[in-house]
Amino acid sequence: MQTKLFINGEFVDSIARGRIAVLNPYDNSQICEISEARAEDVDLAVEFASEAQRSWGRSDASGRGRLLLKLADAIEANAEELIQLESRDTGHPVRDARKLDVPRTAACFRYFGGMADKFEGFLPPVYPGYVNYVSREPVGVVGQIVPWNFPLMFTSWKMAPALAAGNAIVIKPAELTPLTTLRVAELMKEVGFPAGVVNVVPGYGHTAGARLAEHPDVKKIAFTGSTATGRRIVQASAGNLKKVQLELGGKGPNIVFADAVIPAAVGGSAWAIFHNQGQACIAGSRLVLHEKIADEFLQKFTALAKSIRLGNPLEEATEMGPLTSKQHQERVLHFAGVAKKEGGEILLGGKAPEREDLAKGCFVEPTIVRAKVDDTVNQEEVFGPFVTVTTFRDDDEALAIANNVKYGLGSGLWTTNLSRAHKMAREINAGMVWVNSYKVVHPGSPFGGVGESGYGREMGFEAMREYTYPKSVWVNVDAQVVPHYQR
């Protein structure tokens, strides 16, 4: 596996020769050590990216697209290696990495590979005697910061539209989970991406990440992570007023109405919160149940949660692996104590499993907590297999509960009433609403939030707009007539 920084098309040690231990969260054993990027390494990467930008930004869009398509093919050809690497590094069960992480990564690169030469400007109608055309220009060198919960998939979400639009990039994967991003860099070199167009600098947020956010030659910063860190990035970006794109925290309401198809809602709601151990910003972490079906739903939902198979993520039978780090396991368990202190009722879980084979790992049992609307666990993002339960009497109360948080990322509705579904979807403060489903994503559909969940969008044409700016060009077609002051 690759353990060095990727700068200007080569894998190199960091200047200070610092190292970061990468651990397997299943048993906290060390997988490897990687080079630690610091500010001086980021400066070097940005320097090479700036040089590469001059030609990459002017290159034939179809050529950029072909490279992205080749990369998608290479990812599929090396799928099993990436599956195993992602599972060891993050704790994702291999069944999920095989079904979702790797296919979605390839699909994202392929989608934007196809879009590279199809993202058009336009020709607005203007005054007689003039032609005005508006082109989309790459913003320039882009800094990208990828979180630890879906490192492979989010690498593609960040890289693909930026490269398709003609930007050179410096990307910082999380220090906890850098291995698949570095492997993608190897594949990019193999398929022929020019040196300097992509640079990978794994390191800590307060050093490498902070330098990337403040660097005067970085024209845009794209960040996925916590709201608190997002605020610091906005402050750091002010030096050169760089463009900022933020995909931050979430506290997704998942509303089940009395007319819902209960078996589908139970299964979908379990997927919404327990997939990837709940480590997802769009997780349906607040179950909002109509009082008429609450008891029936909870009985079936709790039974399903109890049946989830925890274990070694490298084993095909495992349905839930460990959380990605010991520190995060402790944070999630802390919230169980907070819930108890505030009078919440823990219906299931709230602790690490007692099985001997899981004792060394970062596991938390599927956790269900009955809590009041304003309790801490109903307001703050726990980011684990931890779901709260509240009930409602009518649609207005359900909507009030849904919107009673500072976040606005994902949300879900379970109902057979189409009119209600459209009305609620319109009124919920969220960037995404799923009806009779949850956590469905596609490269063609915009992904992002409102409020303290951030701004800007991943995916689709919206992502291409995020990585370009409109340039308006005016042409006087009658050169004999030039506007001038009248005396």
Q: Is 437 helix (H, G, I), strand (E, B) or coil?
A: coil
Residue 247 among the catalytic residues: yes
> Going by C-beta distance under 8 Å and a sequence separation of 6 or more, which residues neighbour residue 262?
256, 293, 296, 297, 300
Contact 143, 221 (CB under 8 A): yes
**Positions of E strands within 415-487:** 434-435, 450-451, 454-455, 468-476
Is 137 assigned a catalytic role? no
SS3 of residue 352 by DSSP: coil
Is-contact 28 360, C-beta < 8 A?
Answer: yes
**Which amino acid is it at 299?**
Q
Packing angle of the helix pair 151-164, 102-115 (nearest 10 deg):
0
- The token pair that represents 447 in the structure block: 């992904």
| Contact by Cβ (8 Å): 355, 320 | no
Question: Which of 147, 366, 409, 374 is CA-nearest to residue 274?
Answer: 366
**Rounded to whole angstroms, how far apart are CA atoms 155 and 393?**
42
Q: Are 142 and 222 spatial neighbours (Cβ–Cβ below 8 Å)?
A: yes
Residue 278: left if φ>0, alpha if ψ -120 to 50, beta else—which one?
left
| Residue 255 DSSP SS3 | strand
Selected catalytic residue, list 281, 381, 458, 466: 281
* Pairwise CA distance, residues 160 & 21, whole Å: 28
Find out whether 248 and 226 touch, Cβ atoms under 8 Å. Answer: yes
Torsional sign, CA 276, 279, 284, 288: positive
- Dihedral of alpha carbons 199, 102, 98, 267, sign: positive
The one catalytic residue among 247, 365, 452, 458: 247
Backbone dihedral region for residue 3 (phi beyond 0: left; psi -120 to 50: alpha; all else: beta): alpha
Report the distance separating Cα 27 and Cα 312, nearest Å: 9
Q: Is residue 261 within 8 Å of residue 220, measured between CB atoms?
A: no
Distance between CA 325 and CA 350 in Å, rounded?
Answer: 17
Question: 454-455 and 243-247 as β-strands: parallel, antiparallel, unpaired?
Answer: antiparallel
Instruction: Tell me the two tokens of residue 254.
Output: 């998942």
Q: Residue 271: what are its φ and ψ, rounded to 5°?
A: -60, -40
DSSP state of 151: H
The catalytic residue positions are 247, 281
